[in-house]
Amino acid sequence: MTEIVAEISGNHGGSLYNALRLIRAAADIEVDAVKFQCFEPGRLAVRRSGNQEVLRLADVAGDRIDAIVALTDLYRRTHTPKPWFPELVRQATDCGLRWFSSVFDPDDVAFLETLDCPRYKISAFEMLDWDIIKAVRETGKPIVLSVRPIEGVTILQATDYNGGIAPLGLSAHGPIIPYRKGPMVEWHLKLEDIETPDSAFSLTPEQMREMVHAIKKPALLGRA
């Protein structure tokens, strides 16, 4: 059975209230889990300032200092503050959703261990960052690893919540219905009344509801 994940990302627009709304919306459209992003803007900007693929996607030019400043500004606008996480976890649990988080620095892992994060995701940009991989491996928790982006989706190598290796899954950017027999499908979820840097590649609750039905109830849409 496909696990469907709603990526909360920075679509809260800097508001804890909106982040809680996103989790509730995810539960209402019957996804299985929500995923958060845990990072500190300045530290992530420094770590990624030499990654040409990141700079291209973020449309950043100039020297390394310029890149750090531009990326820090971007990540501040998509940042989920660490003090929010206990409330986010509580909301997910109350809504009957599993949760996990992307991490971008060993300090992120250390923080999330205080909340007993059940699973970690490592993005495609950090897939070769041994410091982060080592920190996650030392927790003994399952890992979801983004491998490479192709045609609007990112290939995922996942382990389940018990640590068993699963076949490849997909993280979709935009209204793409991936191969529905995979173990995991992930979409970014946005609120219709909030614009963020992630909005362009995110789905509204109604758009995601259609995707969920296409996977869980394909006969309803004539896609059996």
- CA-to-CA distance for 71 and 45, rounded, in angstroms? 5
pLDDT of residue 185: 83
Lowest-confidence segment of 12-16, 47-51, 56-60, 85-89 by average pLDDT: 56-60
pLDDT of residue 181: 52
pLDDT of residue 222: 45
Local structure of 193: helix, strand or coil: coil
Local structure of 94: helix, strand or coil: helix
Q: What's the angle, vertex CA 149, arms to CA 21 and CA 37, rounded to 5?
A: 30
pLDDT band, residue 153 (cuts 50/70/90)? very low
Q: How are beta strands 120-122 and 143-150 bridged, if at all? A: parallel
pLDDT band, residue 152 (cuts 50/70/90)? very low
| For residue 151, pLDDT beyond 90 | no
pLDDT of residue 148: 59
Contacts of 217 (CB under 8 A, 6+ apart): none
pLDDT tens for each residue of 94-121: 999 999 999 999 999 999 999 999 999 9
| For residue 127, pLDDT beyond 90 | no
Locus of tokens 């449309």: 59
- The enclosing H or E element of 192 equals none
